[in-house]
Amino acid sequence: MLAFGFALTVFVLSSTPRLAYEVHQGSGPHLVLLHGFLSSSAQWMLNLEALGEVCTPVSVELWGHGRSPAPVERSWYRPQAYIDQLEMLRADLGAEEWFLCGYSLGAGITVRYTCTYPDRVIGHILTNSSSAFADEELAGSWRQDAEEGAERIIEGGNKAIERIAVHPRHARRLPEPVYNALLADAAELAPVGVANAFRDTSPNASVRDIAADNPRPALLCFGQHEKRFYPGKEWAETHMANLEIAPLNAGHAVNMEDADGFNAVVTEFIRRLS
């Protein structure tokens, strides 16, 4: 894991699996930063300093990614299990309320947490996320292909993971320091964690059933160059309550490709609500 130089690393020792997290230098309410599939907390390296001016960033890593363990039991990978983990993290931090930011696969989790614990959330940020806004047809196709894809990952290990289209090695538009850090972390991805994310996280991440009841202010940092997300963006714009959209000069990797733009709109959002 890349050392950011100004982060407090926190490990929780428990017989119950716990997600790894880092509390970074900052001032103000906590902000959870939850990365996407095959990524790690290294993806936030260009954002932490700016965000720290208005909040206290807390980067969290999905099961089997970064320093988080990879439980074999598939129930840990369901969105509800992640929500339970975030609520335990909030208690660890002693935070009565906080902000959340979910990137890609992480967005479905943070939106669902907000709808489950609205009194704990000041506001939440999300980025382009096909999984969060998947319709039943798309989510159903993922479920149908999940077992076969998971078996390929378990059998093929890191070589099979590297062939996945969203693996960092294919993300050539990223700034070089971020690309190198994500590539190093990707070498440590746990195949069982990646396989179970295929089976149990991605196909169940959609928030279409609850988006209309979103109870807290939400900011979609929209990477305008990712054309495949336009249907999801248009659905969210029409159906998700309390949502504002900030178009940014980026594709899917919005906080990395347009770090300055992301930092500006997110810090303004946090200042306004704080």
- 102: helix, coil or strand? strand
Pairing of strands 7-10, 21-24: antiparallel
What pLDDT, on a 0 to 100 scale, did the predictor assign at position 131? Answer: 97
Condensed to tens digits (0 to 9), the pLDDT of residues 38-81 reads: 999 999 999 999 999 999 999 999 999 999 999 999 999 999 99
Whole-model pTM over 0.85: yes
Condensed to tens digits (0 to 9), the pLDDT of residues 162-211 reads: 999 999 999 989 999 999 999 999 999 999 999 999 999 999 999 999 99
Q: Residue for token digits 């988080």?
A: 68
Q: Which domains does the chain have, with CATH numbers?
A: 36-273 (3.40.50.1820)
| Residues of the chain above pLDDT 70, percent | 95
- Would you give the distance in Å from CA 182 to the centre of its chain? 14
**With 90 as the cut, is the pLDDT of residue 4 above it?**
no
What is the pLDDT confidence band of residue 272, given thresholds at 50, 70 and 90?
Answer: very high
Q: Is the dihedral of CA 21, 250, 130, 221 positive or negative?
A: positive
Cα–Cα distance, 116 to 158 (Å, whole number): 35
What is the pLDDT confidence band of residue 34, given thresholds at 50, 70 and 90?
Answer: very high
